[in-house]
Amino acid sequence: MSARNPGTELDLEWVSRVRVNHQAVLRRAQQIQGRKQGKNQWQAAWLLRAVTCIDLTTLAGDDTPSNVHRLCMKAMQPIRHDLLESMDMQDKGITTAAVCVYPARVTDAVKSLKLANFSLPVASVATGFPAGQTAMKTRLEEVRMAVEDGATEVDIVINRMLALTGQWEALYQEIRQFREACGEAHMKTIMAVGELGNFTNVYKASLVAMMAGSDFIKTSTGKESVNATFPVAIVMVRAIRNFFLRTGHKVGFKPAGGIRTAKDSLVWLTLMKEELGDEWLNPSLFRLGASTLLADIERQIYHYVTGRYAAYHELPLA
C-alpha cells in the first residue's frame, strides 16, 4: 500500500464551488470505451497487471469457512502455474491484491493465509454494509472488530442520506470517526454512486471523503442497481487528481460491481493510465472489486498461451 492519506480540514468553499459538466463527462467516457485494445503479448501483460489489482471478493449470505479458504487459495495462485510458466512469469509473484470478505469471515481468511504461510492483505467490508443505515456506534464497533480480527484494509460505506441532503460537515465527521477506528488499516470509502443522484454530488462526496482521510474511494457496494460505470469513474478520478494537485496526497480508486470481463478490466486500466498516469497503475492506488472477473481473465490468458479457450472446469476456483 502507498503512504496513508492523512486528510485535511473540511473545505466547504471548495465543495460548494463544484460543478460537473454532465455532457463532457459522457463524451470522455465514450472516448475511453472506444479505444482499440492492443493484441496478444501487450494485452496478456495488461491482463496480468489487472489480476494484481483485483480485490478477490466473496460477499454472499452463504459464505462458509471452506469457500473463504478456496478464495484465499485462488488469490495466492490466481493464474494456473503452467500458464505463467509459458509466459515466463512464474516467479514474478503474481497474486491478487487482496481478499475481501464480510467481517464475520475475516478470521477464516486470516487463518487460511497463515496456514499457507502466505502474506496477502485481508479486506473487510464494514459500517453496516451495504446500506450503511445502522447506528453509528454499531458501525464503528464493526470496523474495530474487523481490524482486531486481522483485516488490514476496511471498505466502509457512507450514509447516502448525508450526501443527498448536502450535509457535508456531518459526512466529514462520520468518515473521520471511521478513519480513527481503522487505526493502521487502510480505509476504502464506498460512495454508492448509483444512489447519489448526479455527477456533481458524486464529486462533492468524493472530495469530502478524501478530506476526511480516505486512502481509497470506491464506486459501489456491488449491491446497488447501478454500480461501477465509466462516466462516474471519470468524475471520481478527476476529484482524486484535483485533490492530489492541491494537497499532494495520493488517494487510490476502486471500481466495484458489475466488472466481469477481461475486456472491461482493460478499459479500466486505460482509464486510469489516461486520467491519472502510470503511477496509479498498481495495487497500492488502484483496485478492481470483483468476484467473477478473474475467471474470464484466466480464460483469456489460457487462450493467449494455447490458442484455444478453456472450459471453465479446466480453470477451477482453487
Return the pLDDT at 317. 61
Query: What three-state secondary structure class fits 297?
Result: helix
Q: What is the mean pLDDT of the chain?
A: 94
Q: Of residues 188, 204, 250, 254, which has the active-site annotation?
A: 254
pLDDT at 36 over 90: no
The C-alpha cell at 133 is: 443505515
Residue type, 38: G
For residue 74, give the nearest of 51, 41, 42, 91 by alpha carbon: 51
Average pLDDT value for residue range 127-138: 93
Fold of 12-314: TIM Barrel (3.20.20)
Phi-psi sector, 155: left (phi>0), alpha (psi -120 to 50), beta: beta
Return the pLDDT at 226. 80
Q: Of residues 74, 188, 218, 250, which has the active-site annotation?
A: 218
pLDDT band at 311, cuts 50/70/90? confident
pLDDT band at 314, cuts 50/70/90? confident
DSSP 143-185: HHHHHHTT-SEEEEE--HHHHHTT-HHHHHHHHHHHHHHHTTS
pLDDT at 104 over 70: yes
> pLDDT tens-digit profile of 285-300?
999 999 899 999 999 9
pLDDT at 316 over 70: no
Return the pLDDT at 39. 64
- Range with the lowest mean pLDDT among 25-39, 82-96, 214-228? 25-39
Measured CA to CA, the distance from residue 58 to residue 66 in angstroms comes to 12
DSSP 226-288: S---HHHHHHHHHHHHHHHHHH----EEE-BSS--SHHHHHHHHHHHHHHH-GGGSSTTTB-E
Domain ranges for the chain, please list them.
12-314
Measured CA to CA, the distance from residue 75 to residue 95 in angstroms comes to 6
Q: Are 57 and 291 in contact (CB under 8 A)?
A: yes
pLDDT at 274 over 90: yes
Verify whether residue 254 is a known catalytic residue. yes
Tell whether omega for the bond before 130 is within 30 degrees of 0, i.e. cis. Answer: yes
pLDDT at 55 over 80: yes
> pLDDT tens-digit profile of 38-53?
667 789 999 999 999 9
